[in-house]
Chain A
């Protein structure tokens, strides 16, 4: 069974930079998994941030960026703001006919 790993929690100071990662329990994350990232605040639906590794969704500020770092997908927030305090989820596309897999999410605190 495929397990997608994310840091359970992370903290960043206002104005700081943080990188959240998305890995596989076995193997490496590559662009072939089309990693995407979603932001969710309590009680709200997820919001699409990044798709196809590094493409920002419409309206997403450029302080959010995606990449592959080593064997993981990564979401970097540069110049963190208070309203970036949210849960962040990555999703990997495992191929046609296979389950899509969410990571467990990272709770980001800005303080």
Chain B
């Protein structure tokens, strides 16, 4: 069955860096665009970034542009999110999600999330 398992969360100091991973299994990872979505404590879901199936296209929310980098390794079936210069407001549960693309566009599979806490 399809599985997405995030890891790499934890406590990070402001200004340090952190890499999140999302290990995919049960489907042909290289065929799907993948996203990161986050949720601050007690808040709603916020789209963060997307990467195309081959890694050739990447797009970011304005709130993270220039600080976060999405990438993937299709040989390892793994999605990544590098969080650079984190701020307190980046504290959130980060979910990876699989995109179902044209002729429809939605998130059809979600991981369980990994919590990132930015604190000194």
A residues apposed to B, CB below 8 Å: 1, 34, 36, 38, 40, 45-48, 51-52, 55, 57, 87, 89, 91, 93, 97-105
Contacts and interface: CB of A to CB of B under 8 A. Distances in A.
Q: Nearest 7 A-B pairs (CB), nearest first?
A: A51-B106, A36-B106, A93-B105, A105-B44, A34-B105, A100-B47, A45-B110
B107 A48 contact: yes
Given A34-B104, A46-B95, A46-B110, 19 more contacts: A34-B105, A34-B106, A38-B45, A38-B107, A46-B37, A46-B45, A48-B106, A48-B108, A51-B106, A52-B105, A57-B108, A89-B44, A91-B47, A91-B107, A97-B57, A99-B47, A99-B60, A102-B44, A102-B46
Interface of B: 35, 37, 44-47, 50, 57, 59-62, 95, 100, 104-113
Contacts of A46: 37, 45, 95, 107, 110
A107 to B, nearest CB: 10
Contacts of B57: 97
A104 B109 CA distance: 20
Contacts of A97: 57, 59
Contacts of B50: 100
B104 A51 contact: yes
Contact of B106 (A47, A91, A98, A102): A91
A51 B108 contact: yes
Given A99-B59, A102-B45, A102-B47, A45 B112 contact: yes
B111 A45 contact: yes
B18 to A, nearest CB: 20
B33 to A, nearest CB: 10
29 contacts: A34-B104, A34-B105, A38-B45, A38-B107, A45-B113, A46-B37, A46-B45, A46-B107, A48-B106, A48-B109, A51-B106, A52-B105, A52-B106, A57-B108, A89-B44, A89-B45, A91-B47, A93-B105, A97-B57, A99-B60, A99-B61, A99-B62, A100-B47, A100-B50, A102-B37, A102-B45, A102-B46, A103-B44, A104-B44
